[in-house]
A and B are shown apart, each in its own frame.
Chain A
Amino acid sequence: MSLAEAEPDFHGVSEAFLGNRERTAWHDATLWFVRAKRDKQAAATADWERLRDHAAAIKAHVLDHLPDLAARFAAQARARGWKIHYAADGAELCAIVTGLLEKAGAKKVVKSKSMLTEECGLNHHLIEHGVEVVDTDLGERIVQLRGEPPSHIVLPAIHLKREEVGETFHEHMGTPAGEKDPTTLAGYARADLRKRFLEADAGITGVNFAVAETGSIVICTNEGNADLGTALPKLHIACMGVEKLVPAIADLPVFLRLLARSATGQPITSYTTHLTGPDPLRPGHEAHIVIVDNGRSGMERDEDHRRALSCIRCGACMNTCPVYRRTGGFAYGWTVPGPIGAVLGPAMIGTKKAKELPFASTLCGSCTNVCPVKIDLHEQLLSWRERIAADGHLPWSKRFGMRVGAAVLSRPWLYALSGGVARRLWWLVTARLPGNPANAWTAARDLPPAPAHSFRTWWKDAGEGDGHG
């Protein structure tokens, strides 16, 4: 079962994560460290805000011209020898990739990080079809060995401590028990994965940007895994969502200057590779691109939320989010966690399944402030809340509470009466509510004492606005 089929249980999973306070504090601090690295880079880039504006403007242009750009990209890419395939949804992507691998007789596949293929459940599908698929990004490899999905789109294993990584490697790769030094552990993974790169029949990659002007795709990694995965095997399959298109080569530096700075606080990733068709120096080399919809056309038509398709998957909104940092990525229950995940989730898996996600936010707006392409994330979260309410997916407690609130607040006499009653019965509430598991808001908060008088009484006593109040 792919993640998209399950219903996220934000409260349940986050509560379990929060149960380990030491772990939560560590997770929070680790992600804040990444946020601080991003801040340092942003501050050192004199034109940062202008760059964000420009990137947002290019993305707005792209969203308004997707059919033209997609057609242009396909024509240019074909002219350079790429084979182009189209998938309406995840199932079609899986079928296309499996078909290509079968046709080539490819049994061993090395894969570099691609959130799209996570979203479409490709790994699971390939394994079911007898393909040995190995994730090669170190973080993805760690979670793959553990049978877990990534908990962050840039740092897939950020929820794990070094000791746990050591145990995982010991269990699955036979490395010495108790090893926990990150350099040593990364060295074991390097040795193991190098063999797999050399033996692979095919490489599957994601796509960071697809250039309509030239039919090129751009892939960014720090590890060099996408480069080894495409330079060695005879077959390359790149999987991309249609929103990865950019018009021209000259647009790339705008995004490349923002992406790594926002993601990990680097001025650029170690390797930024542009590939245009199969390699003419390698006889028999095949290069395919699968362009995927999987809910994107629905988002494109949704005026309120189409801007979220501008996302370049840097993860900055997660690193800064006070909720994500404390709940961990698994709480969000589908491929993309954090603020952008809570915005994409309802669009991709529906408001019913994702009904909790837009509420996993304080609406503080920090995500919006760090987004390199200026997606108004907190506004979108709010608007999804409205949509979820309109679709009737709010829990009864919220629906009922809101109805009572509306009834009281729209009738002054009832408001005055209930105020008086509440003041008299407040002692009961303060005695019972704090710490009561039935109310999450007061689980960790005390209630203030009730005032002796209402504002109205005070106003009357003070002389009804005679200037002395």
Chain B
Amino acid sequence: MDEAVFIARFRAKPSGPRAPHPGAYAVDGYACDIAAFARALESVGGTMHVPVTRAALGEAVSAFIEIAGHRRVVAAASAVALLPPNPRIELAADPGQAHQWHDVDLALIAPELGVCENAAMLTTADSLPERGLAFLGQHVLALLDTRTLVADLHAAYGVIAGRKMPHHLTWISGPSKTADIEQTLVIGAHGCRSLVVMPYA
């Protein structure tokens, strides 16, 4: 169907004045600190790693991989940039070819910011061009700079505002989950089975 014909089926407002947009929304009341983020993360089924310094990040990630016994570990370029060279960690080359990550045990990502209200972490085509990696990896380890924390989702969108919308932008809040069978919570639906956030500063 032609666009003009389709749009003409809708008449805007039949009569009277049209409702104005209510304008910007102001919110307050959410704490903006690592403890608030950790509480929200726990409530959505994620796990908070103890905070590490930027300098100790490489060592902490190595220890995490060893302890969990992950075999294939693939990292987004943005995560690799934070770490010293590590033969156990494979760089996610050719980010558009997602099928290559079907057998990844651990996906390492570095989200752009974290939201204390709901533990959502921002990933976009800039920080995660390797989009499929975050969903195909059996487990996800997110390296989160605690300086990027914002209190609530409105503040988080404020950070995006003004940027050209990247091809993809995903808020990730905890691991994948379902309660479709008798409302019983199952962590690990189609995406990752576990999500650990390693905060650093």
Q: Which residues of A contact B (CB under 8 A)?
A: 30, 33-34, 46-47, 51, 54, 57-58, 60-61, 63-68, 70-71, 74, 80, 84-88, 92, 136-139, 142, 155-158, 160-162, 165, 182-183, 185-187, 190, 193-194, 197-198, 214-216, 222-225, 227-228, 231-232, 242, 247, 249-250, 252-254, 256-257, 264, 266-283, 285, 291, 293, 296-297, 300-301, 303
Contacts and interface: CB of A to CB of B under 8 A. Distances in A.
Contact of B6 (A88, A274, A285): A88
Interface stretch (B61-69, B76-84, B113-121): B113-121
Interface string B122-160: 000100010110111000000000000000111011101
A256 B190 CA distance: 22
A66 B10 contact: yes
Contact of B190 (A156, A224, A273, A281): A224
B41 to A, nearest CB: 10
B160 A223 contact: no
A186 B165 contact: no
Given A138-B181, A158-B183, A65 B18 contact: yes
B165 A276 contact: yes
A225 B117 CA distance: 24
A56 B161 CA distance: 22
Nearest to A223: B189
Interface string B1-26: 11101111111111100111110110
B99 A198 contact: yes
A9 B188 CA distance: 38
Interface in B172-193: 172-184, 186, 188-192
Contacts of B95: 281
22 contacts: A60-B19, A61-B18, A61-B20, A67-B10, A68-B12, A85-B1, A86-B6, A160-B181, A162-B181, A182-B182, A182-B184, A190-B188, A216-B169, A222-B178, A223-B191, A225-B190, A266-B173, A267-B40, A267-B173, A274-B168, A280-B167, A296-B10
A291 B6 CA distance: 9
A47 B27 contact: yes
A92 B129 CA distance: 35
Contacts of B184: 162, 182-183
Contact of B181 (A185, A198, A301): A185
Interface residues of B, number: 77
B5 to A, nearest CB: 8
B190 A194 contact: yes
Given A253-B157, A267-B118, A285-B96, 15 more contacts: A61-B22, A63-B19, A64-B19, A86-B6, A88-B1, A157-B181, A190-B188, A225-B190, A228-B135, A268-B173, A271-B135, A271-B170, A271-B191, A272-B120, A301-B11
B129 A281 contact: yes
Contact of A270 (B7, B44, B99): B44
A145 B179 CA distance: 18
A268 B120 contact: yes
Contacts of A257: 117-118, 152-153
Contact of B96 (A92, A253, A274, A282): A282
Contacts of A162: 181-182, 184
B48 interface: no
Contacts of A222: 176-178, 189
Given A66-B12, A253-B156, A227 B135 contact: yes
Nearest to A143: B180
Nearest to B1: A86
Contacts of B11: 67, 297, 300-301
B152 to A, nearest CB: 8
A70 B181 contact: no
A94 B192 CA distance: 33
A293 B152 CA distance: 35
B102 A198 contact: yes
B43 interface: yes
